[in-house]
Structure 1
Amino acid sequence: MRIGVGAGLDVVLVLVFVAIGRRSHEEGLSLAGLAETAWPFLVGLAVGWAIMRAWREPEALPIGAGIWVTTVVCGMLLRTVSGQGTALAFMIVATLFLGAVLLGWRLIARFAPIPRART
């Protein structure tokens, strides 16, 4: 799998998580609002990619697990230091949702590989 595809999927899925959360709390989907909510998790995602050296095999489940945990932990820590909320219910939902999507696409890639074009 190409690095850009794996990284792009992870970023889009984090943004989907943020958009769903903002929408469910009637906070609106302005670009500024999305950025304010998303940046801690996007930084956590980047840290996870760096720690796991995910560019080597972005679709691997163990790498995805490391990215998931790092995204959640860093995201929550950054939300705390920046004065954003980290209620227990939010932490549970964030952990479960991000785990489902960050590992989910990797499971799909593992068990239903996309055929590659012949060159």
Structure 2
Amino acid sequence: MASNIVKKAKKPNWESRATKALVMALEDHDHVIRAKFGKHVTKSEKNRAWNEIYQRVNSVAKVERTVEEIKKKWSDLSSQVKRKEARRRADARKTGGGAPMEEPSDTELNLIQNNLYF
């Protein structure tokens, strides 16, 4: 019994300029994306913000990404920055300052400085 499963082609990795565009767009829409739902922030406002982020990312990217892919990238990037920053802080509290850490990338540094990782 042979199944006719068609594998979906893997998209290429994110380009650095698309990632930077994502971070810059999130800086502009941070107040809406991070806010809790309520009378001041509705689901339609959040969707509108994500659609604007979608347009900005895809305007510079070679490969078009969906809103869901952009949200996933943001989640992964945020987790990565949180983990690295927590490790850096823990190492800084060790006797002797701990092992030297690798320098964060420009994108990670931007997220840390603007407190955009959550």
Using structure 2 for the length normalisation, give the TM-score.
Answer: 0.36
More helix by share: 1
